[in-house]
Amino acid sequence: MALAVIVRKIHHVGIVVEKLTRAYGFYRDTLGLPLLREVEIKDQGVCAALFGARESEIELIEPLQAGSGVARFLEKHGEGLHHLCFETEDVDASLRRLKASGVALIDETPRDGLAGRIGFLHPRACAGVLVELATPLSESHSETSPLRLKRVVIGSHDPKETARVFQRLFALTEQSMNGGPRTMLAVGRGALLLVPAHEVGGLEGMVALSVVAEDLDDVSARLRNAGAAMLSGAGELTVEPRSSHGVHLHISRFD
């Protein structure tokens, strides 16, 4: 049996926040991302919300009870990037294939989640990244979102080897770059950018998100009006984590 699970796209990126109501002020009110749905998931002890980012989504997760996995994450790491979700046609078959190949899983069988039928791989299977697989029950993305998720940036002490792990598991296509240790893997219209950990403060795992804006001037004005801490350049800007609930957020002009 071939190992690789075919994934269609980045379904969403999960971000742990202290309070959804406060995070809404940035992701919905300032960035203008449309809220698709909000659900309390009692068996996980969280309340989660999905926001449209064109063909992908941004998930905000608030822990509701002490001792849950998300609560422990928040206590240890603070607000920030939590997991990466790939959309696959058949999550049941995908998990069976991965289990048969000896891949470390958190969920050996799918369960219901905010993204549809879901299952998580163990972080040790994906070079320290918590990866979720999901088969949505219906389409929920928003083509009217002012932002499109473009890249997830992952820090690694060996980007080439980490890229091989993701290629082996998910058959991702490598995109050409101008040499060096950085590696780009295509996932639908999005991509994973693997960078040396020393370039991102020695951090491993997900370290930043890159999005493109249909109207960068409007987004920039919204951020300035909200008093967001950011660095601006020609055709791009970077929001500092203290203003975006622990996320390094790079925004460039719509391509």
Question: For residue range 54-107, what is the model confidence (pLDDT) as tens digits?
Answer: 999 999 999 999 889 999 999 999 999 999 999 999 999 999 999 999 999 999
- Report whether pLDDT(115) > 60: yes
- Report whether pLDDT(197) > 90: yes
pLDDT digits (tens, 9 = 90+) for 209-240: 999 999 999 999 999 999 999 999 889 999 99
Q: Whole-angstrom Cα distance, residue 253 to residue 255?
A: 6
Q: Whole-angstrom Cα distance, residue 44 to residue 192?
A: 28
Q: What is the DSSP letter of 162?
A: H
Q: Which amino acid is at 44?
A: Q
Q: Whole-angstrom Cα distance, residue 104 to residue 156?
A: 19
Phi, psi of 250 (to 5 degrees): -100, 130
CB 33 within 8 A of CB 27: yes
Predicted confidence band of residue 121 (pLDDT cuts 50, 70, 90): very high
Q: Which fold has domain 147-253?
A: 2,3-Dihydroxybiphenyl 1,2-Dioxygenase; domain 1 (3.10.180)
- Report whether pLDDT(15) > 80: yes
pLDDT digits (tens, 9 = 90+) for 137-194: 876 556 689 999 999 999 999 999 999 999 999 999 999 777 789 999 999 999 999 9
Q: What is the pLDDT of residue 1?
A: 43
**Bridge partner list, 183:** 194
Q: What is the pLDDT of residue 43?
A: 84
Q: What is the pLDDT of residue 140?
A: 58
CB 20 within 8 A of CB 74: no
Q: What is the pLDDT of residue 91?
A: 96
Q: Whole-angstrom Cα distance, residue 136 to residue 138?
A: 5
Q: What is the pLDDT of residue 178?
A: 76
- Report whether pLDDT(46) > 60: yes
Phi, psi of 40 (to 5 degrees): -90, 125
Residues 6+ apart with CB under 8 A from 139: none
Burial label for 30, CB within 10 Å (0-12, 13-18, 19+), is buried
Q: What is the pLDDT of residue 137?
A: 85
Residues in the chain: 255
Phi, psi of 30 (to 5 degrees): -90, -50
Domain with CATH 3.10.180.10 in the chain: 7-135, 147-253
Which numeric CATH code is attached to 7-135? 3.10.180.10
